[in-house]
Amino acid sequence: MKRRPTGASKKDPHRNRRKQVAKFLERVHLNAAGIDIGSASHWVAVPEDRDDQPVRGFRSFTPDLHALADWLDVCGIETVAMESTGVYWIPLFEILQERGFEVLLVNARHVKGVPGRKTDVSDCQWLQQLHTFGLLRGSFRPDTDITAIRTLVRHRGTLVREAAAHIQRMHKSMTLMNLQLHNVLTDVTGVTGMAILRDIVAGHTDPAGLARHRDYRCKASPEEFVASLTGHYRGELVFALRQSIELYDVYQDKIRACDEQIEALIRALEAPCPTPDRELLPPPRTKRPRKSEPHFDIRSPLFLLSGGVDLTQVPGIGPYAALQLISEIGLDMSRWPSPAHFASWLTLSPHNKISGGKLLGSATQPSANRAAKTLRLAVMSFTRSDHALAAFYRRLAGRIGKPKAITATARKLAILIYCMLRDRSPYREQPAAVYDERHRTRLLHSLRKRAQSLGFDLVQTDTGLILE
């Protein structure tokens, strides 16, 4: 018997099978290109038979991006795949889309599975090769009009967070001066609180004089106001308080200007929509928006844009939350084949890890999806609500804990919104009592089947259920 040389491997029994799989791997996109995105330059790879130099580098300046698009056009490229590197991909993505190319934005984690590809040249070639065989999936990006609204809505959120940071600095200055205004006012940035703070930075430090700004609707008494405003008015802390108020006012002006821009974009999208549907708009669930939300009419334009669907009728979704959702997911639900795909894109579905037929874990993937965050915040308001979604949340919270119950209810809420926008169907609320009764019926049916499998009968009595 011949001995196998040292270091020689055994014959692979799956070798022929792998050859068959590779043989059936067909080229799907013959006119495909791959682009490795960088901050200073982009590297582009096209099929080798299209140019003498199939891999080229282009700087990230706008004229070079147009030259890149011209070169792709000369090479006969129809579809392009690029990595989502920071925000550097956005200018090139928009230019290529305007020029008529099909552009796929690929998650960088999905194309880094092969070791040894650590250069820009090899990365773009690898993208081009994967895209040629149809092995890449593009990330979701809304239409241009929705993207413009999304940009401003996200920018508005940044302005609100910056303004909140200056409110915290105002609180710190008052605490250091031992001014306990937050103990007598719910919101120090309200009418009464801002009037008192502006008087303080203007040089008025008499507690009795400052307490005259107390609104008659305040629950705290005038004596409590005087006691809360008695403190140490140190000059450096008053100076810090003054600058915090000035910066807070600046951010409030910027937020109002941003609201005007958002309203203008929404009105421009609303103009082509038919107007008779406005009469079908149901009455609002909430009477007035929160202080940090826009104060222009959001419901009517979104009702027309979504084809007669009012998302604000869904529990926990106010007008501004509906605007945030539409700006993130758009209005075309055909981007996702099914509600399950939509929930998976939101990272609200379990991420099952199975090996050897055994479930190793099913925790949801960490994600910074803003639409999922909005849905989770909506679910957090279901604690004492009287509807089916709230009953579902409370039942799960008692069994698996609040964090997992929030995610599960947010997934149910996402599927509900997906079906509303896809089918153009209104929301029909189900009371919590009806849901609890249906859950009880399903539970009794399960108990009867379990009892019968064990040889028992479940008998209904006046006091409850017994086994016989």
Amino acid at the residue 94: E
Q: What tens-digit pLDDT sequence spans the chain (468 residues)?
A: 444 444 444 455 445 544 444 456 788 889 999 999 999 999 999 999 899 999 999 999 999 999 999 999 999 999 999 988 888 999 999 999 999 999 999 887 777 765 556 677 888 888 998 999 888 888 889 988 999 999 999 999 999 999 999 999 999 999 999 999 989 998 999 999 999 999 999 999 999 999 999 988 888 898 999 999 999 999 999 999 999 999 999 999 999 999 999 999 999 998 777 664 556 788 888 777 788 889 888 998 999 888 889 999 999 999 999 999 999 999 999 999 999 999 999 999 888 888 888 888 888 888 889 999 999 999 999 988 889 999 999 999 999 999 999 999 999 999 999 999 999 998 988 888 888 888 888 988 888 888 888 888 878 776 666 666
Q: Alpha-carbon distance 162 to 160, whole Å? A: 5
- What pLDDT score does 71 carry? 95
- What pLDDT score does 8 carry? 45
State how far the alpha carbon of 330 is from the alpha carbons of 66, 144, 147, in Å: 28, 10, 8
CA atoms within 13 A on the CB side of 195: 11
- What pLDDT score does 467 carry? 64
Q: Alpha-carbon distance 316 to 380, whole Å? A: 8
- What pLDDT score does 114 carry? 58
Grouping H, G, I as helix, E, B as strand and the rest as coil, residue 386 is: coil
- What pLDDT score does 6 carry? 46
Residue 41: Cβ-neighbour burial (10 angstroms; 0-12, 13-18, 19+): middle
Helices (H), 105-213: 120-132, 144-176, 191-201, 207-210
- What pLDDT score does 420 carry? 94
Q: Alpha-carbon distance 229 to 251, whole Å? A: 26
Task: Give the count of beta carbons closer than 10 Å to the beta carbon of residue 165.
Answer: 13
Q: Alpha-carbon distance 132 to 130, whole Å? A: 5
Would you say 100 and 146 are in contact if contact means Cβ atoms under 8 Å apart? no
Pairing type for strands 32-36 and 79-83 reads parallel
- List CB contacts of 362: < 8 A, sequence separation 6 or more: 350, 351, 352, 353
